[in-house]
Amino acid sequence: MKRLMFLSLVLLTACGPSVKVGYDYDRGANFGQYKTYTFTSDALSYPINELNRQRVLAAIESELNAKGLSKSDNGDLLVDIKLTAERQQTATATNTGGPYGAGYGYRWGGGFSTTQINVETYIEGTLFIDLIDNAKKQLVWQGRGVKTLDKDATPDQRDQRIKEAVNLIMKQYPPAGKK
């Protein structure tokens, strides 16, 4: 399980297309009232590689600070994280060969063909960032990013890609028109 959680974090270090992001929020929440935040104890001790956990938390902290929120011991918002990893497969079929001959009559015949199926297995990881109203103990915003994992990423690549992924997720906070 720990290995799968480690791979989950690597989702942010994958090559290729950008992170797919999405979000949801409580339409009744007054996002303008939130000025401070605190990481939950679960986020601070999430069971992944400590270096990667620090990267994720630092990236979230940077994004929240850029939005005018400040870190506090008892923030208006509680920040929690969750990571999941799912094994995925894609299959590609390639046909070669086919009918031979041309025209009518006896010159037409059935040819030989082969179909080759290539199966690619990969891990797709999802990072969830939850913002919880501390007074109500109620989830008010959740952002998520999904990406294919790259277990061979360098530390510099992990730093950059985690920052990029968290930035893309946090662009959705606060929801448009709810500032």
134 Rama sector, left if φ>0, alpha if ψ -120 to 50, beta otherwise: alpha
| pTM (two decimals) | 0.75
pLDDT of residue 97: 67
pLDDT of residue 168: 96
Q: Average pLDDT, whole number, for the chain? A: 85
Q: Which residues contact 73 (CB under 8 A, 6 or more apart)?
A: 38
> Which residue ranges form the domains of the chain, and what is each CATH number?
2-87+123-170 (3.30.160.670)
Nearest Cα to Cα of residue 82 among 145, 22, 174, 137: 145
Write the pLDDT tens digit of every residue in 68-100: 999 999 999 999 999 988 888 888 888 876 555
Which residues, given as ranges, of the chain have pLDDT below 70?
1-17, 97-112, 179
177 Rama sector, left if φ>0, alpha if ψ -120 to 50, beta otherwise: left
Sheet arrangement for strand 77-97? 20-25, 138-148, 113-133, 77-97, 36-39, 70-71
Distance CA 133, CA 91 (A): 44
pLDDT of residue 112: 67
Rg, the chain, Cα only: 24
Alpha helices in the chain (DSSP H): 2-9, 41-44, 50-66, 155-170
